Structure 1
C-alpha cells in the first residue's frame, strides 16, 4: 500500500446475499481498485431459510471471499448456529477486538470495540438495541460503556460502524437531500446518537433503513474535525438504492492539524443535541448570541451527580475517569473501592465479573488487596507507592519519564517548562521540582520562588506587549502540580474576567473574586479558601484579581476548562484541546530555545 491512503468499501445490509455482494465487489475492484477491506453494516445474515444454503457455502469455504470482509450485523437466520461455532473456536479465544475469524477473509466484529487497520482507527457497535439479553444480535450496556471509555483515549476515530441510524442525524441537514420517508420516528437509535456525539468519528457508517443517504459533513462539539455520515441501502434492493460505497481516508494519526481542521463549504452544525443532566434536558446553540455566548453555549449547566449504584455490574467510565456523564441515569455501580483497585492495576473484568477471559493477553492484575491486610501494611504500601511516584510521574525531575527537552529554567524548588501542545508559542508551566499535588499546598520557600517566577514572566510579557494569565485545576485525579502560564495580547486582557465569569455561569456556578493589596497577599487569601480536600479551580488575572471556585464532589468540571476559555478569547477554538496542537520533539525543542533566548534577562534561575 505504500504511502497511499487505504481504500475501503462499505456495504449496507447483506441479508445473506453474498454472491450478489461479492460479484459487485469483484467488479468494482477491477474497475477502481484494488481495495483493502470491506466493512458491512446492517443485517449480515439471511432473512429467510431459502437463502441460507448459498450463504453457508461461503462460511464453509466452498466459495471464496475475494477481499477481507468485516461485519457487525450479527443477526438473522443462521446467526446463532454460525456464531456459536465461531466463539468456541480456540483460535478466537482471548481479547480480540479486531475481529473473530469466521472463515477465510471473513471477520465478525463482536460487541463494542476499537481496532486499527491500515492505520485507520475503527470503532464499532455490533448488533441492535434490545432488552432481551439474547447472546447474539444485540449490544449490551457493557458494550456502550466500553465505547464511552474508549472515547476518552487520545486521538481521533476515523470510522464508526453501527447497524442502526442515530436519531437526529437529519437535523440541520439540507431538506432536499434527505431521502423521502426518513424521520426520527423510523428506527432512529438514541443510544447511537449519544455515542457518536461522544466518539466524534470522521466517518459514521450505518445500515438498516433501506435507503442510501450521504449527509453533508457536520462540525463536532469540542473537536476541530468534521464527521461524514453514510447510511447504506441493502444489497440487491429493488429500488436500486446504492448499497456499496468506496472511501479512501487518510488516517487521522498521519494528518497535520490544518488538514484535520479543514471544513468543506457545505459543513453544517452538529445535528446532535448536547446532553445535560438527564437525557430529556438538552441545550442547543442559539443564533444571534454574542461572541462570548457563541464560545460557551456548550457549557450550559453540565453539573452531574454520581450513579445510584443500583446494579451489581461496575461502570467502566466511572472506574477509569472518576466521573460518569450519565450521572443518576447510569445503570451501573459507581464504586470508589473498586476504582481504587482499578487504579492499582487490577483488571476491570476481574473486578466486574470475578474472572478475566483475556488469558495471557491481559497485562493487568488478577488479585485484590487481601481483606485481612492490616492498616499498618496498607500505610506502608501507601508510603512505598509515594516513594515510587517520583520515578513514574512525568513532571518529577527525577523521573526517567520527564521530557527534559521541554525545560526552560530550573531554580531550587521550581522549574519552568513549555506546555505540551501549547496554545500559543510561549505557553509555559510552572512546576514544583518535588512531587506535590497542587501549588497552593507548597511550603513557604516554594511559594516565594513561585511568586518570583510569576513576577518575572509578567515583566517579560510586558516587553512583548502581552499579559500573562495563570490558572490551575486541582482535582482528586491531580498528580503533580502545574500552574499554567499563558500570555495574551494586552488589548484582550480586560476581557479575561468577563469571559471566565460567563463560562462559569454556563456551567452553573459563580466565581468568587479574591483581591489583596498585592499578588502575594491575594494568593494567601486564595489558600485560605482552599480546604485541601475538595477540587478547586482558580485563575489569576493581569490586574492581581483571582477568580476561585470550589468544585463540588458531584460536579463534572471540564478538565480543560481554563484552556477552553482562553482558546475562545483568542479565537482559537480548534486549539482548545491540547492534542490538536501536538508538535514534534524538534519543534518543541526549537520553541524552548527561542523562549530561553528571549527570557534570559528575566529568568530567576540566572540569579541563583
Structure 2
C-alpha cells in the first residue's frame, strides 16, 4: 500500500505579520482541509513584531499548524533566536537552527541553512558562508545510507529557481518522503512537472563561483529578493550569450478579427484616448466604474502582460508611475487588475480608491475574501517578483496589483467570473458602488464620455511623460 502524502504549506517573508499569516493558514485549511506543516523561509520576524510575538511566546495564542522557521537574516532579529542549534520558540513554532538536517517522525527529511550569504569567515550570526555550505554538504554525504533529502530550505533564492515557478506568498504541495517510496516510483517522473530550472550548460556552470548566487549578482538576501534584473525582459539588442548576430525585433501578433483596442483599428473609440506614448496609450474605460477609471493599453496587438516586449513593458511601467503620482496628488491610490481570459487584447484596468477610505491591506483582504467565497484561489506573490515568473504566455490568469507594488494572482483553470475585479472594487467594503459592477450598465452618451476624457487629459497633463518625450 502506497504511503499517504504529507500536505505542506510553504511561505516566504512573514516580517512579523503573524496574525496575517496564521489567518490565511486557517482560511486555507477551512477550505482545503488540514495540512501537516508550514515551512517559513526569509524573515519570520520583523523589527516591530515584539508585541504580536509575545502573545504566541507566552501561550496566549497558538499557531494553527506545526510551523518550522529559519533563523535571523539581519542583526535586528538575532535576539528572537536563543539557540543556534534550534529550539521550540513557542507552541507549534520551531526554529530549525543555523544549519543541519531535520528528520520528522513521518520520515520526511529537510536540510536547512539559515541566514543570508556572507563572504566573511566566520559568518555573522545572521549569515552563512561558503564554509557553512561545505560543512552541511559533508555532513549529509557522510551518512552511509544517504540517498538525498526531501526538501532544502534556504532564505536566499537559489540561482534560476524563479524559472518556470509560481512564487506565491503561500504555496501548497503534497510530498511522500523518499524513504517510504518504492525505488521504481522514486525515479519516475510525475505528471504536470515544469522543466528543471537549474539545467545549464557546462560552460555556464564553470562560471559559477558563489554557492547559491550568480557571480555577477550581489549577495542574495531574502526569499523574495530577486536579482537586479528581475521584472524586466532581456534587452532586444541581440547581444545575448553565444549570439553575435543582432536579432530582428519581434513583431506583435496580429488580431484574428476586429479589435476594439489596437490603436490603428477603426473600431477604437478614439474620443476616450487621453495619452499616447511610443508603445502604449491611456484611455478612459467605456462604462467605467468611476469617471477616472482608465486603461493602460499596448498600441500593438498583445494578449497579455506576459506577451509584451521589453520596450512595451518599460512604457507600461512609466504609465503606472505617472498614474500613481497623479492619483496620489488627488488623495487616491490605484488598484490595477488584468483578466487574461476571454479577451484578445491586453487591458490593464486602473481604478482609483480614496486613501482615507481604505488601506492597501483592506483592498487585499477584500479581494482574498471574495475570492474564497467564489472558490477562487487568489495568492499573494512577492512584491519584487514579476508576473512573467508565475505565468507563461498563453496561460489564462487574473492579476491584481496595488500602487504599493503588492500583487495577487490566480491561475484560471476553468470558468472565471468576467466581472470579478469590478465586483470586488464596487463592493460595500471598498467603493460601495455595487450597481456599477457590470460595465454594460454604466454606458454614457458619447458627448459625456468625450467631456470626461477632456477633463482627465487636462488634469493628467502635468504628469504625462508622453508630452515631454
Specify which structure has the higher proportion of helix: 1
Structure number with greater CO (CA < 8 Å, separation at least 6) is 2
TM-score by length of 1: 0.34
Greater C-alpha radius of gyration: 1
TM-score by length of 2: 0.44
